[in-house]
Structure 1
């Protein structure tokens, strides 16, 4: 073995595991999880009193740093947020994906996977001074090139991204989504759909999504909330989940409200995946990072195991990458070391509501490809 994490509380929902154990890594993979592991020559790190989970997957990030104005540095982000797999959701489209791959994805020490945008240049006009929705004009939607680029990059492209809503697609309604779904169908890939304010409506969007497709910004505030004014879950939302549509948080700067989350959780409708939608305009608040987004759900009443599940094995399921999000022997050798701190912590959502939480999930380091990779 190359590395042993000793004495942590191992929480791995993929195995139904919650117990104090050692986790060993060899050859870049998980080698063993057992009450006690010894191996001469292995690096040993004592993590007693801390939590060891599978490497966290942030299913919604923007890490085309330098290539788009909303991009952040994946390595710097992952060092502090406990993330070992950063999924970029549409920062690049077929017109600029080659640069994203060569200059960001390939040199990155952390894993970056991508939903390829169906719009030619991805999310190109997103900053504090310029805000142009890349789906506002169908001239920018590039299905043929998107299909070709997705096919040529199947090792890192795991789906197709599209953004619809008043800010992203103007008055185009569901037209960009319908084109993205055609690309996904032809490529055999899932689609992740962004939704903001109407048009189109929440119901129009999820009616089109297929099993395995992801609706991100799923716990939005009004308008286009999944909850009714009476605090129930809309019937169309329940029907979409029943047929296999996945609901992702994608917190970001405008897409997560405590009011919505409380209503959804009160009705037993937890998110499939918890993600930050971290980008240049929300990394300093209100989203901050993955562990802060997870902490909000812990303080809203989700169990720690379910919060970790929504950031590991559930995300791996959405990615169709079963080797991720698990500490089963033979899985990718990624792990996150977490602490749950008690105290009084101020959390804020995108509409300015504050929540005083009694707990906070904090990253204490990560293992990537079987090697300790501590925050700088």
Structure 2
């Protein structure tokens, strides 16, 4: 086989194959071609020496907002993916059925990085989100558009992976669970998972979680009080344990207001690891407290989660949540996406959404990205020899 690119000498961590070893990774025709202890280069193959670095499947950020220029919260997907080692950015409800085709035509189809989307059940998605205007799109029930949401989701199954709804005091005012119930009907009709946002009550954490089905995703799962998943005594709420038992997935969705170290420590102390770790990056948190995906991952590393489990939560677990098992893996035949990381040691300041600081001794850094089997981006200052 003729290879296009070979990454040689790196520590390959691929939880989809329970692989953690020094190995070479070869790509051909835009896909992963081979993973082996040593791969002989073929004529014309580009060889990159990644010794001393970590090679993972392309990172998946399950919660982003990348409808740039189309919504006030959108950031540039390619710029974010290059700097954060992400090869698949999942937009979670920036667009609804009334404006999804603009998102598809002007952003998704033009992006080099892969963009998948949860379609918002509200007509125009998250339209009133800025530092001056904050209008919860789920507060006005007249904006719920289940009929068109079904049609748009059905017509765009190549890029739409689920239905999104935001409920809580900030997102839905006093509408309670009514928007969630509409969104669940849409998700059921099209046979897709639902992702539910939760903020301050109403509704309560319990009311939201108990409605979710196997495969549905609760994002902002480790949020602070109120509507935290733990009791004042530091135990995981019974409704949360029951939801996990029946197959509900718990996603971090850090963002501006949805991740607290106190909650995370309690959940992890109870052995409750999130299914997926995501940044919820948007214009109001990209300069802090979320910053990017690798910073969000670093927080869990510094909270004591082993590196392979951190990688699992942003690769194979995210792919399973998306029902796209071909992603998040370096198995031969998988899409040719990979992320090259390193772990820096030192003293690093991390902050959560309530202002608590954590001094960590390690930081995950994105050094380079392979996209569709080609060397796509390398961090300035990072050196990789070419043979």
Confirm or deny a common fold (TM above 0.5).
Answer: yes
Query: Is 1:62 aligned with 2:65?
Result: yes
Deviations 1:212-245 (A, max 9, x none): 0000000000000001111110000000000000
User: Out of 20, 33, 36, which is 1:34 matched to?
Assistant: 36
Aligned equivalent of 2:24: 22
The aligned runs of 1:155-174 (5 Å cut-off) are 155-174=158-177
TM-score, length-scaled by structure 2: 0.97
**Partners of 1:333 and 1:195 in 2: how far apart?**
35
**Partners of 2:190 and 2:378 in 1: how far apart?**
38
**Partners of 1:298 and 1:257 in 2: how far apart?**
15
Task: Identify unmatched segments of 5+ residues in structure 1.
Answer: none
Aligned equivalent of 2:6: 4
TM-superposed CA distance for 1:299, in Å, is: 0.2
**Partners of 2:184 and 2:369 in 1: how far apart?**
36
**Partners of 2:238 and 2:191 in 1: how far apart?**
28
Aligned equivalent of 2:196: 193
Aligned equivalent of 2:366: 363
The aligned runs of 1:44-55 (5 Å cut-off) are 44-55=47-58
- SS of structure 2 residue aligned to 1:208: coil
Query: Is 1:350 aligned with 2:327?
Result: no
User: Out of 78, 95, 98, which is 1:95 matched to?
Assistant: 98
Deviations 1:42-77 (A, max 9, x none): 100000000000000000000000000000000100
**Partners of 2:304 and 2:241 in 1: how far apart?**
21
Aligned equivalent of 2:382: none
TM-superposed CA distance for 1:375, in Å, is: 3.8
**Partners of 1:271 and 1:80 in 2: how far apart?**
24
Aligned equivalent of 1:220: 223
Query: Is 1:232 aligned with 2:222?
Result: no
- SS of structure 1 residue aligned to 2:104: helix
TM-superposed CA distance for 1:284, in Å, is: 0.1
- SS of structure 2 residue aligned to 1:194: strand
Aligned equivalent of 1:276: 279
User: Out of 330, 335, 339, which is 1:336 matched to?
Assistant: 339
Aligned equivalent of 1:131: 134
**Partners of 1:374 and 1:48 in 2: how far apart?**
17
Deviations 1:233-288 (A, max 9, x none): 00000000000000000000000000000000000000000000000000000000
The alignment yields a C-alpha RMSD, in angstroms, of: 0.5
User: Out of 116, 119, 123, which is 1:116 matched to?
Assistant: 119
User: Out of 120, 140, 144, which is 1:141 matched to?
Assistant: 144
**Count of paired positions:** 376
**Partners of 1:314 and 1:243 in 2: how far apart?**
16
The aligned runs of 1:255-274 (5 Å cut-off) are 255-274=258-277
TM-superposed CA distance for 1:108, in Å, is: 0.4
Query: Is 1:285 aligned with 2:288?
Result: yes
Task: Identify unmatched segments of 5+ residues in structure 2.
Answer: 380-387
TM-superposed CA distance for 1:374, in Å, is: 1.2
**Partners of 2:37 and 2:183 in 1: how far apart?**
48
Aligned equivalent of 1:13: 15
- SS of structure 2 residue aligned to 1:57: strand
